[in-house]
Amino acid sequence: MGRRIPRRRLGAALAAALVAGLGLAGWAGLEREVAARAAALRAPDTGFLVEARDGALLRAFAARDGRWRMAAQVADVDPRFLRMLQGWEDKRFGEHGGIDALALLRSALESARRGRIVSGGSTLTMQVARLNDRLPTGSVRAKASQFLGALALERALTKDEILSLYLQLAPYGGNIEGVRAASLTWFGHEPKRLTAGEAALLVALPQSPERLRPDLHPERARKARDRVLDRMAEIGLLPAEEATRAKREPVPTTRRAMPMLAAHAAEAARLAEARSGRRSARLTVDAALQARLETYARDKVATLPKPQSLAIVVADHETGEILASVGSPDLFDTARQGYVDLTKAQRSPGSTLKPLIYGLAFERGVAHPESLMDDRPTSFAGYSPGNFDGRFEGMLTARRALQLSRNLPAVELLAAVGPSRLVDRIRRTGASLELGNRSLPGLAIGLGGLGISLEDLVRLYAGLANGGVAKPLRIDASPASALAAGPGRRILSPQAAWYVASILAGAPATAKGSPGTIAFKTGTSFGYRDAWTLAYDGRHVVGVWLGRPDGAPVPGLVGQDAAVPVMRDVFARIGAPQKLPGPPPGILVSAARLPPAMRRLSPKGAVARADAPEIVFPPKGARIELGLSDGAGMDLSLKVRNGRPPFTWYVDGKAALHGLFDRQASWHPREPGFVDISVVDAAGGAATTRVFLE
C-alpha cells in the first residue's frame, strides 16, 4: 500500500481548492458587474446650448433637473487648470486603472497614524463614478459601488473622456455643476482662458461646494483657493511669484447671469431641436454684433415711453445668413412685452413695398426712373388714395416720386403691373403675407394694406440688394440648412434692382459707378402704429421696426424720424458700410432715349387719341395653340390698326420688334404661358393685350 496522505495536508489542499474556486467565481462575478456597468454608461443630462457662428455661447438652458450643467471637453478648458486639477486631486491619473492602490495605502497609513480619516485616496475616476451615479459619501456600500464604477469607466472610456465627465459633473455650489457653468457663473467667461487664481478656485470649490460658495462664504473660498496655490508652488506646477500674484486676485462675491444673447432665436432653435435629441444648436448669428445691438437697443428703448419697443434684424444679403436678430430689447421687460419676438410679428408695412412696385414697373417696361409722372388726386375704380402729408407735387420723375414716397404714382404703377404680381414676387422670397379675408389683393396693398413681418421685409430687401435674387433667409448654421436653402429665386431683373438701388441711395440720376453707400426706404403704417426703415449696403441688409407690441397707435411715430436714426446707429455698429455695386449691362441712362410712351406716363383717366393704336391680334384673353409643348412651335402673328408708324412691339416689358412700318408682324415665343404684349407708335400711343400661349 502507498503512503497515506496526512489528514492535515488533505484538509489544507481542500481549503486551498475551495478558496481558489471562490476566488475564481468572485472574479467572474466582478467581471460581469464591471462589464454590465460599462455597457450601461450614459452621458450626463446637460442643458441645451445655443452657439454663435464662431462657437461662442449665445444662450444656455438648464438641464431637465434645473441644474446648470453644460457639455465640456478637455479642449474647452485652460490646460493650466487641468494640470492643477490633477496635481491636487490625482497625480497618477494617467497611470492607474481607476483605483490607485498606492494612494489608498498611503491614506490608510496616514489615517491610522493620526487617528482620523485624513484623505480618502479617491482618484478622479472614482470621483466621476460617484458623481455620475449620485452616490453618497461615507457609506461602505457606496464606496464599493464607487470602485466598481471606476473600473467600468476605465474599461469603457479614454482618460480624456473620463476627465471630460469630471468637467461636466463636478459640483460648484448651488445648482452649478461642471467647470464651464462654474466659470461663466463666477467669472463671466468661458474656461478656455483662466488666470492662475481662477483656475485654483475652480480646483478648490468641488472639495466642499456649499461650504466654500464664493457668494455666501467669500473668505472661506479665498483661503481654499490660496491652499491650492501654495500646493501648486510646492510641487512646481506654478512659480512662487505667480502664486503670490494670484493670491491678490479678488474672489467673486456674486453669481453672474448666464449668457442670453439672441434670446428669441435661441428659444426657437431649442424648440426646433426638441425631438432630435441633440443638445446644442449653432446659429449664423455674429455674437459680437448681437451683443452690441442688444446693448444699443436697451439704451435706445429706455428713452421711449412704455410700452413702445423696437426690433432689429441684420443679414448678409449675398448668403441669406442672419447676423443679428433683436426680437425685443429685454426678454424680461413685461411692460414692453419683451417675451414677444417682434421680428416675426405681422404688421402693416406702410410704404416699404413701394421699391418693389417701382422695380416691377421698370422690369416690365411700364416706367423708367426718368419717366415723368403726375402726382395729383386720382380715383382708381372708387379707391382714392392720398399722400401722407396731404399735398401733391404735380409732375415729377419716377425717381423723385419714390424718393419722396408719393402715394399716387406708386398706386398708378401698381395698377399697371398688377397687385397679384406684386404678391407673387414677395412670396418668392419665402415671405408669409396676411391678406385678411380678401380672395384677391387690391391696390391698397401697395400702401401697407397687408400684414408682413420685419424678418420677411428683410428677405425682400435682401433680394433687392442682391441684384434681384432673394437668397433664402436662414439663421440655422447647420450644413443641412445651408444645403436645403438652395440658390435663391429671382424677384427682379438685375437692371430693375439696380434702378431701385440708385433711387434709394439718393442718386440724382443713374450713374456709371456705385450710386452710393446705403440705400434705404422708410415706412409708416396707418394710424402711426408702425415705423420702419429697411436699408442695405454692398453686403448687409438692415431692418428696423418701432412701435407698440400691442399694435396701438403712437401719435407722431414716423419712420423717417423714429426708425432712420436707429438704422444709421445699427450700421455704425456693423462697421464701415460697403459701397453698392456698379450697374449691370443694359442700363439706360438718358431719358431722351426712352420710348415716347415711357417719357411721360399718362395719368389714369386721360383722354385717348382718336387714332391711338389698337391691337387686333391676338385679342385680349385669348388662348392660342402654337405647339409650344411639343417642340419649337409656331410664330405668333401680331396685328395693329390705327396709330402712326413706325411701331415697336414689347413682350413682357422687353422690346421684341423695333421700327416696323408694317402693321403686321410675327414673334416667336420660347415657352408656353401668359404673356403681356404691347405696341407703341411713333407718337407715343400704346395698346396692350394679355394672352395665354400653349
Q: Which residues are marked as active site?
A: 89, 351
CA atoms within 13 A on the CB side of 496: 23
Which residues, at least 6 apart from 518, have a Cβ–Cβ distance to it below 8 Å? 505, 535, 536, 537, 571, 577, 580
Q: How many residues does the chain have?
A: 694
Bridge-based pairing of strands 636-641 and 614-617 is antiparallel
In the structure grid, which three cell numbers stand for residue 194, read together?
Answer: 483662466
Q: How far apart are CA 474 and CA 321, in angstroms?
A: 5
Residue whose C-alpha cell is 468637467: 167
Closest CA to 664 of 641, 634, 690, 635: 641
Phi, psi for 675 (deg, rounded to 5): -135, 145
Buried b (16+ CB within 10 A) or exposed e, 96-133: bebbbeebbeebeeeeeeeeeeeebbbbbbbbbbbbbe
364-367 — which CB contacts under 8 Å span 24+ positions? 364/416, 364/417, 364/652, 364/653, 364/676, 365/598, 365/650, 365/653, 365/654, 365/655, 365/678, 366/413, 366/416, 366/417, 366/598, 366/601, 366/653, 367/398, 367/413, 367/416, 367/598, 367/601
CA-CA distances (angstroms) from residue 250 to 185, 212, 243, 507? 15, 15, 14, 57
Q: At what angle do helices 218-234 and 79-89 cross, to 10 degrees?
A: 90
Q: Provide the CA 385 distance to its chain's centre, in angstroms.
A: 38
Instruction: Assign 3-state DSSP to the chain and report helix, strand, coil percentages, each to 5.
Output: 40, 15, 45
Q: How far apart are CA 636 and CA 652, in angstroms?
A: 14
Which residues, at least 6 apart from 55, have a Cβ–Cβ distance to it below 8 Å? 282
Q: How far apart are CA 636 and CA 342, in angstroms?
A: 51
